[in-house]
Amino acid sequence: MHVREQLHTDRQVASTRGRRFGPLRSGLLISAVAAVTVTLLPATASAVPDEARTADQAAARVAEASHELEVVSEQLNDARVLLAEHQAAATTAGEAVVAAEVQLAALDGQIRRLARSAYTGSGMSQLDLLLTSDSSDELVSSLSTLEAIAEHTDEVLTEVEQASEEAAGSRETAAAATAEARRVVDEIAAKQQELERNVADYQRQYDALTVQQQQEVARAHGGESLPAPSGVTAPSSAAQAAVDTALAQLGDPYVWGAGGPNAFDCSGLTSYAYAAAGVMLPHSSRAQSQMGVPVSRSELQPGDLLFFYSPVSHVAMYIGNGQMVHASTSGQPVKVASVDAMGSFNSARRIAG
């Protein structure tokens, strides 16, 4: 192949590689940076209240502690969702590093081939060409070839420089994403320790209550348990599968941070139910409150998710006739209750149907 033809082929290869690498730069790195700049969680909920002096005070304070512990638990769930996003960002940035290094190696090989071509070709310099050319036409042709080599070499050098800078930037992005993921892990660990202390204190106070007082706590946080409906018809197959799965968990215990199959917290139950329908939801009531489409209370259908408190810290599933199924609080199994039992309705979202 003549030198001029080889240059044309190399230019096409370099151009194609550049086009392949361009979307990599604009896509992978933007998504990675976006993932590492997610706003972190609000402050942890306050500690469990002091000891009560009367049985009624104890019941009221345990009910309050139950809600605050659920807030902390849902913050932990939300932190785990954020952690997964940060880890994905670190993986994406790492892939960008590998792609940049592959591109750099390919371009470096191109420069070496150009150098060999220049040194082994018929012309080395304008002076050599002038002394060795047999005619003016041959001189002009050889000079043009030499200029093309120089021009193409400059193009390839520019590509190498861009690829090198991209690799360095990708490494920095990966390092930042990994550091942010580690910071979220540390935050989760600290909140988990606080949660465990609060759970132990709450459980001690709860166990000291009479059965009647424990029932009062349950009614204050989650509502009175209602009989399971004989049949629920949802508007779509996905919503039907989710409703059926949620109702099949009636009687399973509430455990903070649990997502099944034998114990649940509030968002663990709804994510588990929709997973059975092929719909993946994050294990976080706040994150779930941003999924699907909003619906008003007057438009609720079985399978819709109901959210409570502001900011959101509890989720339940609507099953029709003003009722919901949910994992309400520690010491209470998954149960059916009135939508109005929580007394702090926030919003509703339709996930399927």
Paired strand residues for 317: 305, 325
* Residue appearing with tokens 């009479």: 210
Spatial separation of the C-alpha atoms in residues 314 and 254, rounded to whole Å = 13
Among candidate residues 85, 87, 103, 98, the one with its CA nearest the CA of residue 171: 98
Residue 307: in which H helix or E strand, if any?
strand 305-308
* 67 among known catalytic residues: no
The 10 Å CB-count burial string (b at 16+, else e) for 264-302 is: bbbbbbbbbbbbebebebbbbbbbbbeebeebeeeebbb
* Residue appearing with tokens 């294990």: 283
CA atoms within 13 A on the CB side of 16: 7
Please give the radius of gyration of the chain, using alpha carbons only, rounded to the nearest integer. Answer: 32
DSSP secondary structure, 95-160, as one string? HHHHHHHHHHHHHHHHHHHHHHHHHHSS-SSHHHHHHH-SSHHHHHHHHHHHHHHHHHHHHHHHHH
Q: Tell me how far CA of residue 342 lies from CA of 67, 86, 300, in angstroms.
A: 11, 34, 17
Please state, as a whole number, how many other Cβ atoms lie within 10 Å of the Cβ of residue 163. 24
Indicate which residue of 67, 152, 266, 283 is catalytic. 266
* 152 among known catalytic residues: no
Spatial separation of the C-alpha atoms in residues 285 and 32, rounded to whole Å = 25
Paired strand residues for 348: 306
- Strands 335-338 and 323-326, by their bridges, are antiparallel
| CB-based burial label for 259 (10 Å; 0-12, 13-18, 19+) | middle
Indicate which residue of 86, 152, 221, 314 is catalytic. 314
Spatial separation of the C-alpha atoms in residues 21 and 57, rounded to whole Å = 66
Spatial separation of the C-alpha atoms in residues 339 and 321, rounded to whole Å = 9
* 8 among known catalytic residues: no
Residues marked active site are found at: 266, 314, 326
